[in-house]
Amino acid sequence: MSFKPVILWTDALVYVLVAVIVIFAWQVRRHEHLLAPWRRVGHSASGMAALTILMFFIVIGLLDTIHLRPAIENGNGGSEAAYGVEVLSLLDLLATPLRTQVETTYSAPFATHLYARETVELPGGGQVREFPRLKFGGAHLQDPETQLFGDIATRAGTGAGLALLLWFLIATSVTAIVAHCRGERFVSTLSTIWQGITPVPWRAVFVTLALILLLGGAALALCSDYHILGTDKVGQDVFYQSLKSIRTGLLIGTLTTLMMLPFALLLGVAAGYFRGWVDDLIQYLYTTLSSIPGVLLIAATVLMMQVYMETHPELFDTIAARADLRLLFLCVILGVTSWTGLCRLLRGETLKLREMEYIQAAHAFGVSHWRIISRHIIPNVMHIVLITTVMDFSGLVLAEAVLSYVGVGVDPSTISFGTMINAARLEMAREPMVWWALFAAFTFMFALVLSANLFADAVQSAFDPRMKTLSALARTWRRKSIGKSA
């Protein structure tokens, strides 16, 4: 099958981001002193477990980032291949059954019948109002009432069994690699991992991995024949929507922060470091900006952009390109309006840092302002940046939901947690209630944000030398018995 690759704006930025991370990782690997704190991250059990979960989200997000336009069969068989107008991602292609098996309207998770009565013509004439069978969900069952449970259990069991096998393979190969690196025998490494006394908490990673793989395996085995999280109003699979939302969430969380960081970092540090009129100017700027209602500002900008897009349809060759640009602009606008909080924090911290004696020592060496800022101040405020970034991550995902509700969020054709939650607003008011869309959005978002928070926690405590004593205190309770026995 031939296809034409498509690189949307956000895709390009994601590729840049990935490239930066890879270069950074390569740099870190070469320098022992940069590697040391990351090692400490690797030694935190909660951090590594969270990272395992995050990896799944990131993989899904990346799969959803590689866009292409598949070739369509053109009847005349000409030399020039024609490509469909629909831009698909790798994830879409992998999840083709999920994407294409569309019911007519709501159906509950694992249901075989629709959630709403419909008037059905009987073969012998006459009409009856009933819950019709779904076109795809459980369509292979003869007698859903009796077979449903058994079928689900068998499929889930098979999927989980395969997943377990995969897990076993991964665990064995990781253990073998670890054993090889440490120059130990496989069995002894296995037993140290089992006892949880390896420096890198492999046991926690394996347990998390097992949980994810079991859930994922079962879901994979089931999702082609059932709507495991139900369907929405137009009959689209909610599980598919949730998977698609991951990319939007990750993008809003990361790209917005990228847009915001230069403003917050430069202005905040400059205000605190130079003081005087620079400080006054920047303070007035962010005080003014933060006193304008954010939603108003965003709405105005988004509407302006929307008008521009509508008057220039020739700029976009596909709907996806349009939706994508709108998403990017939303990130930019959110970034431009949300730097004030971090800026204020950084200004305060810099005011404190500039009086530190090592900064004065640098002044005494005649070190230039720029070098003092980049070598002394910025590394010492990075923990604040990191914490704020991760805390903002969840806030931004929610902000997107709020904006979608007002109608100035992502493009209606973009699937996001925001649009899902927004739709759920009406569904919750419906009787009988449709709960699964909200439930799915909530679960996915919760897992994403929680694991990001846990990972950031681990990073923070590893990078901040002052945090060490605190963690030492926290562990004392576990060690109490040692003192008594000694």
Partner 1 sequence: MNSVLEIQNLETVLHTELRPVWAVDGLTLQIMKGETFALLGESGCGKSITALSIMRLLPEAGEIVGGSIRLGGEDLLLLPEAAMRNVRGKRIGMIFQEPMLSLNPVMTVAQQIGEVLQRHFDLRGQAAEKRIVQILDQVGIPDAASRMNEYPFQFSGGMKQRIMIAMALAGEPELLIADEPTTALDVTIQAQVLELMRGLQQQGGMAILLITHDLGVASEMAHRVGIMYAGEIVETASREAFFRGPAHPYSRKLLAALPGRDRRKQGHRLDAIRGNVPSLSREFVGCRFADRCDQAWELCHQVAPGWTALTGEQQVRCHLFNQNFGSKIVKPAVSGQAGAPATLDAESWEFESFPSAGTEQSTPDGSLLSVTDLKVYFPIHKGLMRRVAGYVKAVDGISLRIDRGKTLALVGESGCGKTTAGKAMLQLIPPTGGSVRYNGVELVGLERNRLRRLRGEFQLIFQDPYSSLNPRMRIIDIIEEGMNALGVEDDGKEPKEKRVDELLESVGLPAETKWRYPHEFSGGQRQRIAIARALAVNPKLIVCDEPTSALDVSVQAQILNLLRELQRNLGLGYLFITHNISVVEYIADEIAVMYLGRIVERGTVDEVLGSPRHPYTQALLSAVPVIELESKRKVIRLHGDLPSPANPPQGCHFHPRCSHVMPVCRKNYPGASIFSSTHTAHCYLYPQDEEQSDRKTQA
Write out the residues near partner 1 by the rule CB under 8 A: 32-33, 356-358, 360-368, 371, 375-376, 379-380, 465-466, 468, 471-473, 475-476, 479-480, 482-484, 486
Minimum distance between the CB of residue 31 and partner 1, rounded to whole angstroms? Answer: 10
For residues 318 and 380, which CB has a smaller minimum distance to partner 1 in the complex?
A: 380
Cβ distance 255 to 248 under 8 Å? no
Closer residue to partner 1 in complex, CB, 79/485: 485
Nearest residue (CB) to partner 1, 312 versus 466: 466
Q: Which is nearer to partner 1, 17 or 200 (CB)?
A: 200
Q: Which is nearer to partner 1, 312 or 475 (CB)?
A: 475
**CA pair distance 453, 89, nearest whole angstrom:** 28
Q: Closest distance between partner 1 and the C-beta of residue 479, in Å? A: 5
Closest contact distance (angstroms) between CB of 452 and partner 1 is 24
Contacts of 282 (CB under 8 A, 6+ apart): 267, 268, 270, 271, 343, 347
Instruction: Say how many CA atoms lie within 13 Å of 148 toward its Cβ.
Output: 14
User: Shortest approach of partner 1 to residue 377 CB, angstroms?
Assistant: 10
Q: Are 107 and 114 in contact (CB under 8 A)?
A: yes
Tokens 């099958």, located at residue: 1
CB nearer to partner 1: pick between 75 and 483: 483
Taking CA 474 as the corner, what is the angle to CA 470 and CA 478, rounded to the nearest 5 degrees?
Answer: 150
Q: CA–CA separation, 372 vs 274, rounded Å? A: 12
CA distance 299 to 311: 18
| Rounded Cα–Cα distance for residues 33 and 378 (Å) | 17
231 secondary structure, DSSP code: B
Query: Looking at the DSSP assignment, which residues form a beta bridge with residue 237?
Result: 231
CB of 393 within 8 A of CB of 445? no
Q: Considering beta carbons, is residue 31 or 312 the nearer one to partner 1?
A: 31
State in angstroms the smallest separation of the CB of 473 from partner 1.
6
Tell me whether residue 156 or residue 269 sits nearer to partner 1 (CB atom).
Answer: 269
**Residue 46 CB, nearest distance to partner 1 (Å)?**
16
312: burial class by Cβ within 10 Å (0-12, 13-18, 19+)? exposed
Of 386, 406, 391, 404, nearest to 463 by C-alpha is 386
DSSP string, 75-100: TT--SS-EE-S--EEHHHHHTHHHHH
In the complex, the smallest distance separating the C-beta of residue 184 from partner 1, rounded to whole angstroms, is: 23
Q: Closest approach of Cβ 356 to partner 1, in Å?
A: 5
Query: What is the smallest separation between the CB atom of 279 and partner 1, expressed in angstroms?
Result: 13
Query: Quick one: 379 or 407, whose CB is closer to partner 1?
Result: 379
Q: State whether residue 321 is helix, strand or coil.
A: helix
